[in-house]
Structure 1
Amino acid sequence: MKKYYMFICIFILFLFAAGCSKNNADEVDLNISAAASMTESLTELTEMFEEEHPNIHISYNYGGSGSLRQQIEQGAPVDIFLSASSIDYDKLADQDMVDEGKAILTNQLVLIKSNKEDIESLDDFMAGEDKVMAVGTPEAVPAGSYAKEALQELGVWEQLDKQSRLVYTKDVTHVLTLVKEDAADAGLVYASDVIDEDGVTVIQTFDSNLHSPIEYYIATLQNEDQEEEVQQAKDAYYQFISSETANEVFENYGFQPVK
């Protein structure tokens, strides 16, 4: 009789272990590299996505799109790339590293100041020869590239650069930090970066004709050895980020969907 009960217990434990093993096998981790300017909106969207897909866990690596693209080129294990630059998206696509992708959002470039500053426009800023402006490093940060284009069109980039009045940053989040902490008198960021942002004020919105179109891209990345479950998770995330539900959240954070 004791052997019988022992057999039953072992059988139950076997079924339990098999069930746990199956559940673990169904869990999928997605590694996503995303432009730093999307941090807040993606935080909200990820909660919604993981509620719909409890078996999919998402890990984000935020930064400047140029730096993130270089990491991908160097072999970083990334499943999806969310870029604030068509250039960085195109560079991966040209190397056949993109499985599926498209433009999903647009944005605007704005000049901000600390609430403690008394400047009211770019002209005011230029008049203060001791004032400095924080911008993303143009070679690595799309916002910095757009900023350089706009300031060149306005004829002030070379002057600011020559006078050492530009402070280069690793991403737009860094720009915000420097302005809020009065380490920079002004900064150039996206309109979406300052939605409900305390401590800074937008003093100028730049005409979109002054720079290349600001478009955000989503790309699922090629991986021939990827398991089917991961590919399905990538497809689910891609469809979710492209949905009307996601667009509504993005609009709340200052983005505009691509028409």
Structure 2
Amino acid sequence: MKRILVAVFILSSGGLSLAQELTVFAASSLTEAFSDIARAFEAQHDGVKVLLNFDGSSTLALQISQGAPADVFASANETQMDKLLEEGLAEAAKIFARNQLVIISSEDSSLDSVDDLAQKGLLLVLASPEVPVGNYAREALQKLNEVYGADFAERVLANLVSQEPNVRQVTAKVELGEADAAIVYTTDAAVNSHIKVIEIPPDSNVLASYPVAVLKESKQPTLAQAFVDFVLSEEGQTMLVARGFQTGEQP
């Protein structure tokens, strides 16, 4: 009897498909798109659970550098990915998406144009400069000097009242009425219908490139590569475009 029970247990244990967990660190601006992609990936891979960790790219890169366990990293800029590549913590990266910037304000705001950002007394919020969207925003402001005057960026930044660790917290400040305006990604503005969007002229805008890579310390390298391949696939790219991203192809 004991032998039969042991045999049954071994056979049943061998037949169990314990969930394979894949940990993906991704920039906050990818929250909706990567949630869609993760669900589709799980549906195509029985027994796989994708664990998503969203935050500012610089925060995530630092966590990975400090030993946080992760299998895939998707950054909102190449700078943070390059740091991990230099440290030998990531495999070769590929650009999978692109994004641009817009100005957002509350629905009842009097803000109507880009040059209104320099109004005295305006409450402006940006991401911290080490965060990709914060760096991109400051780059765009410098470009806007050519349109609105050499001191435009300086006058706008004089209105800065808060610097946030990721783009979602920047957007939340405007949504909650704690700031009059912010510069965020097009994709983040699209998530909320209760804000006003002001376009930045194409010549002054910044095209953000998003790289993705398998991490060297991944415990599931084959599965991690499969996830990256899915992100780069036609299906994955379609999901990204549906959330407002541009494809990773060179413009």
Quick check: TM above 0.5?
Answer: yes
Secondary structure in 2 matching 1:195: helix
Per-residue deviation, 1:20: 2.8
Measure the CA separation in 1 of the matches of 2:115 and 2:62.
36
Distance 1:36 1:208, change over 3 A: farther
- The residue number in structure 1 matching 2:189 is 194
Measure the CA separation in 2 of the matches of 1:231 and 1:23.
22
- The residue number in structure 2 matching 1:131 is 122
Q: Residue 8 of structure 2 aligns to which amino acid in structure 1?
A: L
Measure the CA separation in 1 of the matches of 2:234 and 2:88.
29
Tell me, yes or no, if the aligned pair for 1:100 and 1:221 is still in contact at 8 Å: no
- Counterpart check, 1:218 vs 2:212: yes
Measure the CA separation in 2 of the matches of 1:68 and 1:206.
31
Aligned length: 243
Tell me, yes or no, if the aligned pair for 2:104 and 2:181 is still in contact at 8 Å: yes
**Percent sequence identity over aligned pairs:** 30
Greater than 6 Å deviation, 4+ residue runs: none
Measure the CA separation in 2 of the matches of 1:216 and 1:200.
25
Per-residue deviation, 1:55: 1.7
Measure the CA separation in 2 of the matches of 1:126 and 1:143.
19
Measure the CA separation in 2 of the matches of 1:242 and 1:208.
28
> Is the deviation greater in 191-200 or in 62-71?
191-200
> Is the deviation greater in 141-150 or in 52-61?
52-61
Secondary structure in 2 matching 1:130: coil
- Using the size of structure 2 for normalisation, the TM-score is 0.89
Tell me, yes or no, if the aligned pair for 2:73 and 2:215 is still in contact at 8 Å: yes
Secondary structure in 1 matching 2:91: strand
Residue in structure 1 matching 2:97, options 94, 97, 105 = 105
- The residue number in structure 1 matching 2:62 is 70
- Give the greater-gyration-radius structure (CA): 1
Q: Residue 248 of structure 1 aligns to which amino acid in structure 2?
A: T
Secondary structure in 2 matching 1:31: strand
Q: Residue 115 of structure 2 aligns to which amino acid in structure 1?
A: D
Where does structure 2 lack aligned partners over 5 or more consecutive residues? Answer: 146-151
- The residue number in structure 1 matching 2:238 is 248
Per-residue deviation, 1:208: 5.5
Per-residue deviation, 1:126: 1.8
Per-residue deviation, 1:45: 1.4
- The residue number in structure 2 matching 1:14 is 7
Q: Residue 157 of structure 1 aligns to which amino acid in structure 2?
A: A
Per-residue deviation, 1:47: 1.1
- Using the size of structure 1 for normalisation, the TM-score is 0.87
Per-residue deviation, 1:17: 4.5
